[in-house]
Amino acid sequence: MRLSRYFLPVLKENPAEAAIVSHRYMLRAGMIKQASAGIYSWLPLGFKILRKLENIVHEEQQKAGHMPMLMPTVQSADLWRESGRYDDYGDEMLRLTDRHGRDMLYGPTNEEQITDTFRSHVNSYKDLPLTMYQIQWKFRDERRPRFGVMRGREFLMKDGYNFDLTKEDALHAYNRHLVTYLRTYERMGLQAIPMRADGGPIGGDYTHEFLVLAETGESEVFYDSEVTDIKLGQRDVDFDDKAQCQAILEEFTTRYARTDETHDEAIFNEVPEERRRSARGIEVGQIFYFGTKYSESMGAKVVDENQNQVPVHMGSHGIGVSRLLGAIIEASHDDKGIIWPEGVTPFHCGIVNLKQGDDEADAACEDLYAALTKAGLEPLYDDRKERAGGKFATMDLIGLPWRITVGPRGLKNGVVEVTSRKTGESEEMTPEAAINKIIAIYANL
């Protein structure tokens, strides 16, 4: 992409309404624009990253055999009356009435809709196990929306639902979700720690929240410092292997790690003092096993091997996709702007032409641009007639992990400069070496 043709309305000043760094940088980098309180438009740069996050979620869910589908945003109130949640949900539910006077609502979650889909189509244990998920917009009418996309009203969420014959099978689905979530977050450059959580209005005996440590987090968290040493990494996972998935669950959840909602001082004090940590965390996902709560109330039953009608065991599992953008920025930035992890960066590298209009510099930039594009990468070429300082400030603000700087002086010596956004370190090398370096960085992502 050439910056002269891209819609990137960066702001020089800090917007007054933005209280936290992710909100500030998302506005300043031209990623979002507020449409109404807690409701945002995603401008091209923001949308590009949102789409990348979505794709990572899709890939990791599908590796585990979970099936993508999509439910509508507008739901019938009747379904929620069946489960008993229509009256329970309170003011956060956006209720509406259609032209025929029917009560509808903008879905804040989808347990009812998916259970209705299930009961309409599945009636034998032979069709189990089954896990379906969607990535769809939700609405929660927060009383006081704030922090940009971190606590918006209209937000994009991945919600997945498993249907199993037995509790054991459903707990395997729970474990599968834990593994897929760990990998999803790691690919996004995040360390998200699974913490024992509270069931809340969705209910559930087994539930973990995934928290990213960040000063601006809404939750206070308490953990054994050993939990931050564990990584899923590239290990092979067979999602049909119950023992392997269970072992990963235990590896990641045996040590103490809880939010303030479930924190237990007595148990925490059993952790050796030098490993006890308290910090703040941002919730980026949650998994639940809630047994037969919805299947009983809504009649989602199957015939088992003995011809008995039994309610299925269910769980639901969510990742806040739009919120993740904010969380990544909270976890990865400096005073100049965002620092995108390589797995989610909107463009793989920036190309800064120090002297736009200089034949040699222009040609070298075009060559770099062509070679990187040919290698399947997306560079962002700042081809505007701006001063170097302004170009650097924009690149630093929008946070591409790598920058190639091209100028007449370097080209005389046959070199360009490759700079890491994270460390700020620069290295001179030939354009060919720069291309190979960038290609190598992204080869394993």
Q: Which residues bind its own copies (CB under 8 A)?
A: 5-7, 9, 30, 33, 35-36, 39-44, 46-48, 50-51, 65, 67-76, 91-92, 94-96, 98-99, 102, 104, 106, 113, 116-117, 120-122, 127, 130, 132, 134, 137, 139, 141, 143, 153-154
Q: Which is nearer to its own copies, 65 or 199 (CB)?
A: 65
Query: Hey, what are 124's tokens?
Result: 């034998």
Distance CA 431, CA 298 (A): 64
CB 407 within 8 A of CB 355: yes
- The helix (H) or strand (E) run that includes residue 53 is helix 44-63
Q: How far is the CB of 99 from its own copies (least distance, A)?
A: 5
Separation between Cα atoms, residue 185 and residue 169, nearest integer Å: 25
Task: Quote the least distance from Cβ 5 to its own copies, whole Å.
Answer: 6
405 bridge partner residues: 352, 417
Q: CB of residue 302 vs its own copies: minimum separation in angstroms?
A: 13
Euclidean distance between the first and the last CA atom of the chain, given in angstroms as a whole number: 21
- When the beta carbons of 51 and 231 are compared against its own copies, the nearer one is 51
CB of 280 to its own copies, least distance (A): 28
**What sign for the dihedral angle of Cα 357, 362, 363, 364?**
positive
Rounded to 10°, the helix 321-331/21-28 angle is 100
Q: How far is the CB of 383 from its own copies (least distance, A)?
A: 13
Residues 353/366, Cβ–Cβ less than 8 Å: no
Tokens of 215: 């000063």
Amino acid at 224: D
Nearer residue to its own copies within complex by CB, 214 or 328: 328
Q: Is the Cβ of residue 134 or residue 286 nearer to its own copies in the bound state? A: 134
Task: Decide whether 219 or 353 has the Cβ nearer to its own copies.
Answer: 353
Q: Least Å distance between CB 121 and its own copies?
A: 4
Q: Which helix (H) or strand (E) holds 133?
A: strand 130-139
Angle (nearest 5°) at CA 57 between 54 and 62: 125
Whose Cβ is closer to its own copies: residue 94's or residue 339's?
A: 94
Give me the long-range contacts of 305-312 (CB less than 8 A, separation at least 24): 305/125, 310/165, 312/118, 312/128, 312/163, 312/164, 312/165
Which value, in Å, is the radius of gyration of the alpha carbons in the chain? 24
Smallest separation (angstroms) from its own copies to the CB of 3: 12
| Residue whose CB is less far from its own copies, 42 or 223 | 42
Give the shortest CB-158-to-its own copies separation in angstroms.
13
5 vs 412, beta carbon nearer its own copies: 5
